[in-house]
């Protein structure tokens, strides 16, 4: 009977150790299947770097477009200024002073001539 009890104890101990071994093997498999330590952070960092690069390109493109718009605005203003200058020049020619009729100064009458002669 003592032998049977010892055998039962050994079987129980063996089953317990076997269960612990299976659990350790499962943990090992989970650890091996999971990403390496820091891999998640590295992936996130690389993704952020990629987004930063894309944003930098978008910023560069926006600045290029802004510069292009500003230069077009200046060019358009120069054209408007030139057209205004031409318009003013044409209006200046058309607005040339119209010839005025010569003014006739009245000639002194005979009576006023006598008064001028006697006064002098």
Q: Is the pLDDT of residue 17 over 80?
A: yes
DSSP per residue, 54-85: HHHHHHHHHHHHHHHHHHHHHHHHHHHHHHHH
pLDDT tens, 91-105? Answer: 887 655 555 655 656
Which pLDDT band, with edges at 50, 70 and 90, does 4 fall under? Answer: confident
pLDDT of 37 reads 78
Written as six digits, the tokens of 11 are 């079987």
pLDDT of 5 reads 87
The Cα 101–Cα 3 span in angstroms is 152
Written as six digits, the tokens of 4 are 């049977």
pLDDT tens, 34-88? Answer: 877 788 899 999 999 999 999 999 999 999 999 999 999 999 999 999 999 999 9
pLDDT of 40 reads 87
**Are the C-beta atoms of residues 48 and 55 closer than 8 Å to each other?**
no
**Are the C-beta atoms of residues 116 and 108 closer than 8 Å to each other?**
yes
Beta-carbon contacts of 43 under 8 Å, excluding residues fewer than 6 positions away, are 35
Give 3-state DSSP helix, strand, coil % of the chain, rounded to 5. Answer: 80, 0, 20
């Amino acid at each position: 009977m003592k032998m049977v009890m010892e055998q039962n104890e050994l079987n129980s101990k063996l089953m317990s150790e076997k269960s612990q071994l299976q659990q350790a093997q499962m943990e090992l498999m989970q650890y091996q299947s999971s990403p390496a330590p820091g891999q998640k952070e590295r992936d996130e960092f690389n993704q952020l770097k990629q987004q930063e690069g894309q944003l930098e390109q978008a910023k560069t493109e926006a600045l290029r477009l802004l510069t292009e718009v500003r230069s077009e605005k200046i060019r358009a203003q120069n054209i408007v200024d030139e057209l205004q200058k031409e318009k003013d020049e044409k209006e200046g020619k058309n607005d040339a002073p119209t010839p005025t009729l010569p003014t006739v100064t009245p000639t002194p009458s005979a009576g006023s001539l006598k008064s001028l002669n006697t006064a002098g």
